[in-house]
Structure 1
Amino acid sequence: MSNDGQSFNLDQLQSLLKKKDKRLEAMHEASKVLLSLLGHTKNELQLMQQGIEALAILLQARYGAISILDSSGEQAHFLHTGIDEALVKRIGHPPQGLGLLGIVVKENQVIRLDDMQQDARSIGFPEHHPLMKTILAAPISMNNKTYGRVYLCDKLDGELFSNDDEKFITTFANTLALVNFNLHISRRRKQIEKDLRLAKKAMEHTQEGVMMIDSRHIIRSVNRSFTSITGYSKQQVIGQSMEMLAVNIVGEKFLYDSLWCALESNGHWKGELNQRRSNGEVFPVWAVFDSVGSAGGESEQYVCVFRDITEEKKETQRIEYLAHHDPLTKLPNRTLFEDRLEQLFLSAKRYEKCFALMFIDLDLFKIVNDTMGHNIGDFLLREVANRMSSCIRSCDTISRVGGDEFTVLLSNINDCSDAGMIAQKILVSLSIPFCVNNHEIRISASIGIAMYPEHGRTYEELLKCADAAMYHSKESGNIYNFYSEVLGQEVNAQLEREEQLYSALERCELSVAYQPKIDINSLHIVGVKVLLRWHNSLLGFVQPSDFIPLAEQTGLIVPIGKWMLNHVFEQCLVWKEKGLPIASVTIPLSSRQFYDPDLLDMVSQALAASRLSAEFIEFEITKKTAILEVDKASRQLDDLKKRGIRVIVENSIEEIDQLGSHSAISADALKINATELQDITGAEKTLSSAESLIAKAHNLKIRIVAEGVENVDQLLFLRACQCDEILGNFFSRPIGAVEFEQLLIKDQRANSSFVREN
């Protein structure tokens, strides 16, 4: 009896068994056909197309498809059967491999469903794909690598997919995986063979020399470039020791020994070697050695790739020469001169020798260069260099350090008379007229000489002394002069100030003076300008004009400026806590301070420490500073304004009419200096002009500050011009913190009285 309760007689049962046997026989035959197809088809896509068509016919499926993935897991090929091309176009794209089809690949498992609608995983099929009820899907995989998937949908007779169907599609998928694997191996083998052919071809055509060497250092093969570089033919070197190329010197033999030790220990070496060509010529090569493992895994074969670097070394030497020599005169440049001077310092100190440094400046050369042209000027410089070079010894050094400036190092001299003789010799050689394009050109020189150790023990000291002596020579008539005390008074004073300035902060010698800024209408204090002062125990009171440029030159202005900023903020905080707040403090900045990349961070730290706001600060710079590096200045001004910090730029009153540069527009205020105030005082005709110019600044929302007000006439004039703020000795000279505090108290009381009266 069947499962549904129907009974069968013997004839019916025999008929059913025969049908089943015939179907199994048909499946077996179809399987043989499929396997034959899979085993002999060469085209991969043709294989898959014919395979899915045969499989669908065999298992009586309405639809079938094979999906092959690429190395990243994305679908690379999709072949199908049971759907005509019109429907394919309407569907638009193949299934995306989500849901059920994704599980087949991700979990490497066979899926058989009798009713897809009952399974929530039945997603990923295109919108216009024919409706499906049953599905049988299997992964195409082998050795834990999945190549894709194959699936069938809905049998034509309406029956469900059976266990036999599942076994068959699994066998088909596995066979397809094996074919894909074999195809992959075949392609890989062909690619390796192709790569080997290309490598051999590249070896023959590369410009680098290549040789294969065995473990006994015997050359086994070489390429074409090897023969062209070395001059040896293949027959001359194959079977010979690689050492036949080596240069027979001790150092090179040691290098080759090191090379083989490195190859035996880590299988790699690279570096510069000297080799010998067939004609005996020695030449440099850059070589790279690598070991090539034998079949047994031992490094018994080596490959060497090398190139001739003769021209590279020549170019390197040329670049090195240009880096240390003046291209016009071929003399050593400043870099090489300073290096040789450093060596001379060490030698003279060790052996207690003296030497001389000459500073030579050509007289009237600029006139010759400007009037006769740069070609004549260049020719003249070359001739001057040749003549001066002929006057010195081989142990001496002459260099060109500027346009028409030269320096000479005289080593191993007994005393200053030796230097004087050479200086005189140079002057005599230059006194002979130069013949240029049928013209006689007469030129002379001024020479200053400084002696080591008498006049200095550093490059800077000697150069300053020689420079001072040279200028004295120029003033006294084109002769040579030695540095002396008389000539060096200013140099010594400068050096003394520099030495003392380095420790001024440590010795607490610096102080700050305060000068009030006055509102021109109310005549009350609206701010303060701070100024740096220096009183040294040895030098006494040093003028700002004498030490501030020195601080700028040496870079000391940066730490001094930081100290001043913190000191001023601390003092202003004290006044604020006493009920004497100041609206703003103006701090002058030098160029070095203004362009210091750490300026903003330094200000932020000082403000944080003093609990003052950024609007409290107003930095003052000169116009020269603002235009020194225009783009950088613009960025710095913008950054300061973003932080809320104001900037005042020193301008002349005439330059206000030219407002338009970024530095001017970015400034919050412009300052007019005292000299201009004296020039405009009493000139009635300038009043309307000054009013107009200041009004222009006001239209740009820029305040005008006048500095150096000395009398009431200047005050009245500036008030008539509608100037905003003033400061000068008419109100108060720069004073100390205690005096300024009293001035603040007095101004506050006067202001309070004014408020009560009004």
Structure 2
Amino acid sequence: MSQNELEPAIRILGDINASLIALDLEGYITGWNGGAERLFGYPSEEVLGRHVLMLYADETDNDIELFNRVLTQGQTTLEVKRRHKDGRDFWVQIHLNLVRDEAGKPLRMIGFLHDISSQIADQVRSRLLASVFRHTPDAIVITDESRHLIECNPAYLRLIGDKLPKIIGKVPYFLEQEVGKKTATAQSIDAHLASTGHWEGELWSRRANGEAFPAWLTLSAVHGRQNKLQHYFAVMADLSERKAAEEQIFRLAYFDTLTKLPNRSHLFSLLEQALSEARRQQRSGALLCFNIAGFKAMNDSFTHRGGDQILVVVAERIRSCLRDEDVLSRFGGDEFCIGLFDIRQREDAAIVAERILATVAEPYYVQQEEIVIKAHIGMSVFPDDGRDADKLINLAAVAMHRAKQGRQAMLFYSSDMNQRSLARIKLTTDLHHALARDEFELHYQPQVNAQTGQICGAEALIRWRHPQRGLVPPGEFIPFAEESGLIVQIGIWVFNAACQQMAQWRHQGLGLERLAINLSPRQFGRHLVDELLAVVNQHQLPASCIELEITETLLMKADEDVTATLNALHQAGFSLALDDFGTGYSNLGYLHAFPLDYLKIDQSFVRGLPDNHSNAAIVRAIIGIALNLELQLIAEGVENEAEAQFLASLDCHQLQGYYLAKPMPAADFVNLLQPSERSLLGY
């Protein structure tokens, strides 16, 4: 295009918004349109004839190479920084063209300029965000709308110990949900995302090797046009170190560093919580203050290291005597505090204390030396002695110091309680020796046919002939045997002694069809069936002549093992009787669920028949149920003729009680078994 042809085009471009600059071959401005004026802020009279360097943001820029490229190639495009008249810098894209004359000789350069500051800013921002994404220490995850991972940063890969190709397209573990299940955290995440599009909180995530770790997660939904969900953006921080530090701080603040037990400070908070719960449940409890006698001398003899070894073993031995729900704390030095927050009777605390003292008294070996430790325990009981932790601990400490002064192993703060506790402990101690000393004996009470009065069975009942107290009633010692676990040994003794007596009577030709023997729920271990069969086989008895009496307490708590044991006993030939029916929950389901043969009506319902209309109605109902289920009925506690006649009139099968005969030793009971047609009924 010639110069004459170009001039009209330049005038046209001067009137449009495009930014146009004309330069001679040395870089001086020869043309400047309105668009350039608006772009740079200079009117044409201020720039025409001046060198283009006046527009540069950096005076050190050199465009010789640029001009050479245009002269050789005819055009070029570049992005450069330029400066406005007001001094601010901005980015422009320049498309520079070479204009030649008709002979092809270069005349000038025409530059078309476009402001690209916003695009450059976006690029810078994008590069910055990409750098932050790559180098931030927090893990970042981006998923699609279905929560499948589409991008993550290196921090996330380091956190989970995995590589991007293996996890791309998969749902991150912290967003996974088991089929058909939703954890509370998953439900919270879904609810918040649905309502606010954001969730933030603590949860458990997992590394590639399966290791779980605590994390803090910030999760946001990203929406596009028309508010359509497009992505999820998650930022995660590993809380493992912080949690470990917090746990360490907690341990140092609230636990003894030597024994790892709660320290004095932590004890008070645990006690306040337990006491509050005990008050709400109306339970009794106790605080025990434990102190080692002469511990300073041990430290002097074996150094503090040896003393520390003793304290650690003492703590372990005390803990072995307690239940999981009980609290053991090192109160300081050689003192420990023990919280028993659920005891049936106040004196139970003394039984625990005695157990602790016996366990702690076993020999210790320190630096190849054997030593024996003595200790003192003081006890306070709530709610009687107090209702707050501080007072109860103080009273237990007072009792402990009194025990030391009086050279007693243990002492209650209350003197009345001491007397009851000592009596209970004495009885429990004697009970431990009763088997070895052969102080138990069996009495037998007949069970008779309600219509004929003839003996058709008997119940073996244990009696304890105490060397000082004489005959101790079962109601006084059986609960102790149950609590201590001695009932298992006692139960085996009863079963063996009863079977031996039954075998002797059968050998003598005395007809007794059935002998009833009580079983404690605590006897129901995995070897019970084998143990009982071994005994009847030893005495050459058929299992069918033994009736095993069980309680509703056992059936209420029966699990699969107990049910299997009951079925095995029944299959072995033993008959089963449900004792004291009606005094517990009396769930009629028992009568279908378990292989029962006999139902024993408790004496509390027999008393006052037939005049006691309430009892009469209950007995009628029980007998009706039993007859319909084809169960044999035995009424206990029959004490007079009216009760016996009324029960017989209702078709009760058998009667048992003082009206017929009291429980008696075997020597007296044998007289009732002599061949005779005599009826034990008085009518």
TM-score class, shorter-chain normalisation, is 0.3 to 0.5
The answer to which structure has the higher helix fraction is 1
- TM-score (norm. length: structure 2): 0.45
- TM-score (norm. length: structure 1): 0.41
